[in-house]
Amino acid sequence: MLKIENLNKSYGDKVVLKTVSLEMKEHDIVCLMGKSGMGKTTLLRCLNQLETRDSGTITLNDLVLDSSTTRNKEFQKQVGMVFQNYNLFPHLSVLENCINAPIYHKLMTRQEAIKKAEQLLEEMELLEEKNSHPLNLSGGQRQRVAIVRACMLDPKILCFDEPTSALDSESTDKVVEMIKKLSEKEIGILIVTHDEPFVSKLGAKVIYLEQMNH
């Protein structure tokens, strides 16, 4: 499903990723662990085209990500990202945050987007908050809104950057449940985390990046 081969990324003289390779299939939950500065988040950002890699191949199913600086929109639609700080628009309601991207990219009509968003929000037990603004939500609720937003385009791979860093244990348990449910939907889940109890609850495959990154 996802194949990363010999990925390299440097910032000036600082080598962040060196010949990193990774494979995962649909339904897989893979956690990237390791010390800070080992390039875990950079790997996610390369996969999401938020950073341009220096070399290496990224393939998702039969789609190869071009190494040029031009964004591959078809690839972009198939990779969702849930950021550590959620990156929700504070001036937009929960619903508007969720429908913004599919409408902007002309992938759905407004009514289609609303219908899909309300269905996903209901699954995440957030439908009653659809008209709320992010600042009026708890950290756990914001996390779930970010997950709904990322799922609006039906990604094949869903990336999480430190999903439990700002959550209490009860919210973390809910995130564990949600990620397990998402992996049943033929989505591959790729998570950057330092949270070992969270990883053990997920029963995820663990990759220590410092062992790959040499």
- Counting Cβ atoms within 10 Å, is residue 51 exposed (0-12), middle (13-18) or buried (19+)? middle
CA–CA distance, 160 with 158 (Å, rounded to integer): 7
Residue that has been written with the tokens 């890699």 in this structure: 53
CB 47 within 8 A of CB 82: no
* Chain-centroid distance, C-alpha 214: 25
- The neighbouring-strand residues paired with 188 are 157
Q: How many CB atoms lie within 10 A of CB 127?
A: 15
- Counting Cβ atoms within 10 Å, is residue 193 exposed (0-12), middle (13-18) or buried (19+)? buried
Per-residue pLDDT of the chain (214 residues), as tens digits, is 899 999 999 999 999 999 999 999 989 999 999 888 789 999 999 999 889 899 999 999 888 886 665 668 788 888 999 988 899 999 999 999 999 989 988 889 999 999 999 999 999 899 999 999 999 999 889 999 999 999 998 899 999 999 988 788 888 888 898 899 888 888 999 999 998 999 999 988 999 887 555 5
pTM assigned to the model: 0.89
Strands 79-82 and 157-161: parallel
Buried b (16+ CB within 10 A) or exposed e, 135-163: eebeebbbbbbbbbbbbbbebbbbbbbbb
